[in-house]
Amino acid sequence: MPSLSGVQVSSPIFCGNSESWIDKRGLPKRVPMRLLCLGLGRTGTTSLRVALHELGYSTYHGWSLLENPSDCLLWKEALTAKYEGKGKLYGREEFDSIFCDSDAVLDIPGSLFTEDLIRAYPDARVIVTTRDLDSWYK
């Protein structure tokens, strides 16, 4: 299991490797993107991540930011470009770097780039998780 600042994390939601603080900028995509699970948080994405991991998928989920905190810098850059119009918009090349070892994307921040990811990975299958609005709000 990964460790955060030397503390071992023993939870099935952490599915990544034990390395962290890897600068992925410019890394090539090592596996094809197979699944884009584009539901928002609190719609079952963590459970889906665990299930996909058991099926052999290498997933990228919001929890991946804790597994590799340096990804936050890339996501900040992508969000700033998309929502503030500052910097280069992320496309296939940039997403390939973030998801270099992943063949499935779930949860935020990926779900904030739904159209961009579908455009970048047209051959990937898409799953949209949903939840009743009233129960989601509570």
Number of separate domains in the chain: 1
- Which CATH number characterizes residue 111's domain? 3.40.50.300
| Domain with 80 in it | 3-137
pLDDT of residue 16: 53
- The pair phi, psi for residue 59, each rounded to 5°, is -100, 150
Query: 44-94, pLDDT tens digit by residue?
Result: 999 999 999 999 999 999 999 988 999 999 999 999 999 999 999 999 999
Q: How confident is the model at residue 4 (pLDDT cuts 50, 70, 90)?
A: very low
What's the mean pLDDT when you consider all of the chain? 87
